[in-house]
A and B are shown apart, each in its own frame.
Chain A
Amino acid sequence: MVPAFAFIVRRELRLALRRKGDALNVLVFFVVVASLFPLGVGPEPNQLRAIAAGVVWIAALLAALLSLPRLFAADYADGTLEQMLVSPRPLAVIVLAKITAHWLLTGLPLALAAPLIGLQYDLPANALWVLLASLLIGTPVLSLLGAAGAALTLGVRGGGALLGLLVLPLFVPVVIFGAGAVTAALTGINPSAHLSLLGAFLAVSSLVGPWAACVALRVALD
């Protein structure tokens, strides 16, 4: 079971390495969107500090939405997904491996880039750390729940827009607690309550997301 997880993650990473554009696009999109806000809002430091966490989190959601339709689409089109369903490996392990690879390729780079974005918004050091922590806990949720949405919209025309409608409401708690943690740190309140709630949400979605994705994939290939 563990080897199956490992070799599928390795394969996904190898594929991404041969097709660097996809992962890079998502990161560049995130950085550009988050950097546009100061240009539009103006350089007033207090205002920038106040909107920083919200902007970074929204940009992260949009970047995730950009990458999610591709999660199963290629495997669906070339027949690999079919082989995954008839393979003796548990589908849940396969799906979890694909989700993990998706996070390593999109969520993780984005979280690591976020402190640099935070500097543009004049965030103090402690808030930068909290921003990084909130993204490290919160972005896996985007991959986990997003996978269920991607599986549900597989093979649907205009699936990308539908995917957004499906998963964005599910991401609301992540934005609230993620951005809330940073705002708390800025106002001198301990952000650990927000981060704990974010962690709890991660725990729940790590069960619900892959399970829902498995069910949806079986239906999509019926």
Chain B
Amino acid sequence: MLETTALACERGGWRLFSDVAIALQAGGLLRVRGANGSGKTTLLRTLAGLTRPAAGEVRWRGKALDSESHREILFLGHAPALKDELTVLENLEFSARLSGLGDLRFKDALERLGISRLADLPARYLSQGQRKRAALARLALSSGVPLWLLDEPFAALDDEAIAQLSGLCASHLEAGGMLVLTSHQDIPIAAPDARAIELKG
């Protein structure tokens, strides 16, 4: 469903990687590995349609990425996209509406990430890990979005949150979803169709 052919990306005239071929089917998990600066984030942004590849093409359901495919692709980058002035709940509500999610059980989603007691706290007061959890709470509402692209989802999380996130990812894959993630740690997600690619300069 997600395919790339001979994908190459450049940043500032510098070739990060070339000839990356990905073929991901329903239920598939792809882990992107590589040293710092090898282009993991750039690859994810390219798959999300944010960055234009220098060569090659990203195809979703056999077609080039377009505005329709945004409905079926969820991208969570490094930045948690939280507004300090808004409460955790308000932030989640906005990001869910922005991505056009139909599932609006916000409290449940915060519960799944263990931050329901922070719902009415302005995001300004959250710790780094709590911010990460607040951003990831959207995943609990996104079971209907087939492809998840997660950039370093396990960074800054404690053991409890890692378990919660792995659970969310595993049930997403079980339901036929697809997942591409970058991670430096070994990921504790059980998936029958798990693959990894290593980016080299």
* B71 with A82: CB separation less than 8 A: no
Contact pattern, A 104-123, Cβ under 8 Å of B = 1, otherwise 0? 00000000000000000000
Residues of B within 8 A of A11 (CB): 86, 94
In this complex, which of A14, A80, A83 has the most chain B Cβ atoms within 10 angstroms of its Cβ?
Answer: A83
Task: Determine how close the nearest CB of chain A comes to the CB of B25; give it in whole angstroms.
Answer: 22
* A88 with B52: CB separation less than 8 A: no
Contact pattern, B 83-127, Cβ under 8 Å of A = 1, otherwise 0? 101100010001101111000000000000000000000100000
Q: Is the interface of A mostly helix, strand, loop or mixed?
A: helix
* B77 with A79: CB separation less than 8 A: yes
Closest B residue by C-beta to A76? B79
B64, CB-defined interface residue at 8 Å: no
Task: Determine how close the nearest CB of chain B comes to the CB of A23; give it in whole angstroms.
Answer: 13
Task: Determine how close the nearest CB of chain B comes to the CB of A8; give it in whole angstroms.
Answer: 8
With A83-B98, A88-B70, A88-B100: A18-B85 Cβ-Cβ less than 8 Å: yes
With A88-B67, A88-B71: A80-B83 Cβ-Cβ less than 8 Å: yes
* B77 with A82: CB separation less than 8 A: yes
* B48 with A86: CB separation less than 8 A: yes
Q: Please, how many angstroms separate the alpha-carbon atoms of A11 and B67 in the complex?
A: 23
Q: Please, how many angstroms separate the alpha-carbon atoms of A137 and B81 in the complex?
A: 34
* A87 with B99: CB separation less than 8 A: yes
A222, CB-defined interface residue at 8 Å: yes
Q: Please, how many angstroms separate the alpha-carbon atoms of A60 and B188 in the complex?
A: 57
* B81 with A83: CB separation less than 8 A: yes
> Could you tell me which A residues sit within 8 Å of B by CB distance?
3-4, 7-8, 11, 14-15, 18-19, 74, 77-80, 82-90, 221-222
Residues of B within 8 A of A84 (CB): 98
Question: Which range contains the number of B residues in contact with the other chain?
Answer: 20 to 34
Neighbour of A89 across the interface among B68, B73, B79, B100, CB < 8 A: B100
Residues of B within 8 A of A79 (CB): 77-81
Return 11 A-B CB contacts under 8 Å, by A number. A4-B97, A15-B83, A15-B85, A18-B86, A78-B81, A82-B50, A82-B79, A86-B49, A86-B99, A87-B70, A88-B100
B75, CB-defined interface residue at 8 Å: yes
Residues of B within 8 A of A85 (CB): 50
> Could you tell me which B residues sit within 8 Å of A by CB distance?
48-52, 67-68, 70-71, 73, 75, 77-83, 85-86, 90, 94-95, 97-100, 122
Q: Please, how many angstroms separate the alpha-carbon atoms of A221 and B81 in the complex?
A: 14
Residues of A within 8 A of B75 (CB): 82-83, 86
Closest A residue by C-beta to B149? A86
Closest B residue by C-beta to A74? B83
Closest B residue by C-beta to A10? B94
Residues of A within 8 A of B94 (CB): 7, 11
Q: Please, how many angstroms separate the alpha-carbon atoms of A87 and B79 in the complex?
A: 15
In this complex, which of A3, A7, A79, A90 has the most chain B Cβ atoms within 10 angstroms of its Cβ?
Answer: A79
Q: Please, how many angstroms separate the alpha-carbon atoms of A15 and B100 in the complex?
A: 21
Neighbour of A15 across the interface among B49, B51, B86, B97, CB < 8 A: B86
Q: Please, how many angstroms separate the alpha-carbon atoms of A89 and B99 in the complex?
A: 7
Residues of B within 8 A of A80 (CB): 81, 83
